[in-house]
Amino acid sequence: MQRLYSSCLAGIIFLLLCAPTLALAETIVIRDARVFDGVSDQLSEPSDVLVVDGVIDSIGQSLSVPDNTAEIDAAGRTLMPGLINAHAHVMLQLPVWQAMTSDDYSFAYTATVAARSLLDNGFTTIRDMSGNSFSLKKAIDGGLLSGPRIYPSGAMISQTAGHSDHRTAEAPSRLLNPNSRSVFEQRGMVVVADGEAQVLQAARENLRRGATQLKIAAGGGISSYGDPLDVSQFTDSEIRAAVEAASHWGTYVAAHVYNSNGVRRAVDLGVRSIEHANLIDMATLKYMNKRDVWLSPQVMVFQMELVGMNADQKAKQRQARNGLNSLMTNAKKIGYENIVFGADIVTSLETLGNINQELVLRTQWFEPAEVLRQATSKAGKLIALSGPRNPYGKLGVIEPGAVADILILDGNPLEDMSVLERPQETLRVIMKGGQLHKNDL
């Protein structure tokens, strides 16, 4: 008995000592891949990529690798960084009519399917731009669920009658009933705050939960009921309060806004990323570009028929759609530097499943290489603005030291973006942080 006990103990000690070494020894080499590194206009010559412990270790021809290295033969296929969706709403995929009568569980279960769907489409990272995604992020990081890395903003902050205020005109004033809140506010997907003190509190609550950046609304929105797209939201001191709270945490503020005046105010007050911007003029776009502000536009969401939209909302959507061509044409014309990919899909798992159409739609204005940069290296740079709040390493590029978020696919998206529209068929390998989510090779 004594002997058995001591040999068991020795076994356990052996395992404890060896387990970390075994984990460290997890290496995979991908042979014979033509690499889009997230930056270049062209694919590389056939190359090998060595992944050690979830990080890209080296790239080269006929790499010599340690013993026991697992091998994937890409057989001349394209290898590229995992995609980044810089404007996601992983928690908001319930149809609106269903969201109105659902409990927290329905939101959560639907979000787990949304997360999985994003990863299946090749998105290894998302910047979540409003939604209570903190626990989902934890579950994914902990290996409990499949999904992309999440950079959560927490609840988007807006003023009363702003874009976070999803109450209809019939809802009572909060001055009469302090509990007058939309279902989205009750579930922590958005938050309404008025005055510097409330904005600071809302910002700090998001930071407390682990927001990597903050999102505010500085102008009207489509899905909210009471705010036309041309209006300005928040006073200067309210926007400044959010920017200050973020900067004290070493991070930044992104602002939802469509109109020129709102964009200028946000930029002047320290906002670093502008979401949408469909209605801005050329002078404002140049103003942003000169100040290295990030532009995060969307295409597909303005073509979506959102179930349950009223006439006002439909008119606003039309207005935004009509502005889009001039925004994108102008951005292309001036070679807008800091522009990213983001889809902003809400209320439909089905549409989210087709998110890669957004990549193709952008080729109306941009070369495929430009679109791919928006969804890889550029988006990677944007999310890195979260500085010390960035919980992961370098993303969006294939280079030594970057996190091993890697796709291997049939076809060359630099020549034909539509190969990414059929990810079930064409995406042969989806690797996130060195872990294989899919391997069809």
Stretch that binds Zn ion, among 122-130, 170-178, 192-200, 400-408 (CB under 5 A): 122-130
Quick check: helix, strand or coil at residue 354? coil
Question: From the CB of 52, what's the least distance to Zn ion, in Å?
Answer: 37
Residue number of the CB closest to Zn ion reads 344
What is the distance between the alpha carbons of residues 42 and 37, in angstroms, rounded to a whole number?
Answer: 9
Residue selected from 344, 358, 370, 405 as contacting Zn ion according to rule CB under 5 A: 344
| Upper half-sphere CA count for residue 113 (Cβ side, 13 Å) | 15
Whether 231 contacts 219, CB under 8 Å: yes
Q: What kind and span of H or E run contains 139?
A: helix 134-141
Nearer to Zn ion, 50 or 88 (CB): 88
Q: Give the DSSP H/E element, type plus range, for residue 71.
A: strand 70-73
Q: How far apart are CB 49 and Zn ion at their closest, in Å?
A: 34
Residues 246-285 close enough to bind Zn ion by CB under 5 A: none
Minimal distance, residue 271 CB to Zn ion, in Å: 15
Residue appearing with tokens 């997890």 = 26
Paired with 256 in beta bridges are 217, 275
Instruction: Pick the closer one to Zn ion by CB: 238 or 344.
Output: 344
Q: Which of residues 165-204 bind Zn ion (CB under 5 A)?
A: none
Cβ-based nearer residue to Zn ion, 129 or 216: 129
Judged by CB under 5 A, the stretch of 59-67, 120-128, 233-241, 340-348 that binds Zn ion is: 340-348
End-to-end Cα separation, the chain, in angstroms: 49
H helix or E strand, kind and range, residue 409: strand 406-409
For Zn ion, which stretch binds (CB under 5 A), given 8-16, 58-66, 67-75, 336-344?
Answer: 336-344
Per-residue x/- track, 77-116, Zn ion (CB under 5 A): ----------------------------------------
3-state secondary structure of 214: strand
- How far is residue 187's CA from residue 77's CA, in Å, rounded to a whole number? 44
Nearest alpha carbon to residue 126 among 338, 368, 380 = 380
CB-wise, 49 or 352, nearer to Zn ion?
352
Site stretch for Zn ion (CB under 5 A), options 106-114, 127-135, 216-224, 413-421 = 127-135
Measured distance CA(327)–CA(430) in Å, rounded:
33
Minimum separation from the CB atom of position 92 to Zn ion (A): 8
**Token pair in block for residue 202:** 């809302």
344 versus 421: smaller Cβ distance to Zn ion: 344
CB 411 within 8 A of CB 426: yes
Binders of Zn ion among residues 129 to 148 (CB under 5 A) are 129
Nearer to Zn ion by Cβ, of 57 and 165: the residue is 165
Positions touching Zn ion (CB under 5 A) are: 129, 344
